[in-house]
Amino acid sequence: MGSSEAPPRFQSRFEHHGAGHVFAVVEKMRLGWLLKHFPPLLVWALYVFVNGFMTIALLATLGVLTDTPFVFPSLGPTAYLFFFAPLGTSSSPRNAILGHAIGLLCGYGAFWITGTPNAREAFHLVYWPRVIAASLSLASTGALMVLLRVSHPPAGATTLIVSLGIISKPSYLVVIEVAVCLLTTQAFVINRLAGLPYPIWKSSQTT
């Protein structure tokens, strides 16, 4: 049986596509044969697919068992960042956790200030309080992330989810932040097991 080590040309192609970490993953798992039979980008896509499925499935299951929003729209982009570009600044635990926290606070602040009703059935209706809440929440979230150097784009979706009244119950906001922390923990474990120098808190890259 041949060696599982992939030829150097495959490793260079992975690095060219910015997916050198995936090459490390398949080598560590003795699955180098994948690189001999499938295009590097396909293997990279498989890595994102498998880890994205597992992490969100676990949180979704937790949400079903507790009847709370452990899964919400902006969690998807965060999971994608964790496994597509795990060593990027925006993918660090610090940026993810603090970014979503800022989004939640700004979203709820805008929701409360404008008095936007929590009416899911009227979500499609556009009126001035809702316009102001959405604009204020996104603007303040973006500004604070810049000032605090904790850029995390998915937080922009989190703040709109709250300011528009889709999820605005205070206890649910706590659940959302807990979900972010759990997803971050899963990403840390998976990426570290893959042999990646995923940061414990802050990325070594500059913003």
pLDDT at 3: 42
Query: Which domain, by its residues, includes 173?
Result: 8-193
pLDDT at 173: 96
pLDDT at 1: 37
The residue-averaged pLDDT of 149-153 equals 97
pLDDT at 52: 94
What is the rounded distance in angstroms from the CA atom of residue 5 to the CA atom of residue 23? 10
Say yes or no to pLDDT of 17 above 70: no
Mean of pLDDT over the chain:
83
Q: Do 132 and 114 form a contact (C-beta atoms < 8 A)?
A: yes
First to last CA, the chain: 46
In total, how many domains does the chain have? 1
199 within a domain of the structure (yes/no): no
Q: Do 89 and 144 form a contact (C-beta atoms < 8 A)?
A: no
Q: Do 107 and 183 form a contact (C-beta atoms < 8 A)?
A: no
pLDDT at 191: 86
The region of weakest confidence among 26-40, 70-84, 146-160 is 26-40
65 within a domain of the structure (yes/no): yes
Say yes or no to pLDDT of 119 above 80: no
201 within a domain of the structure (yes/no): no
| Whole-structure pTM value | 0.81
202 within a domain of the structure (yes/no): no
**Tokens in use for 159?**
């703040």
Find all residues with CB under 8 Å of 115, minimum gap 6, and list them. 129
207 within a domain of the structure (yes/no): no
> Given pLDDT bands bounded at 50, 70 and 90, which one contains residue 74?
very high
Q: What is the 3-state secondary structure (H, E, C) of 66-118?
A: HCCCCCCCCHHHHHHHHHHCCCCHHHCHHHHHHHHHHHHHHHHHHHHHHCCCC
Q: Do 20 and 85 form a contact (C-beta atoms < 8 A)?
A: no
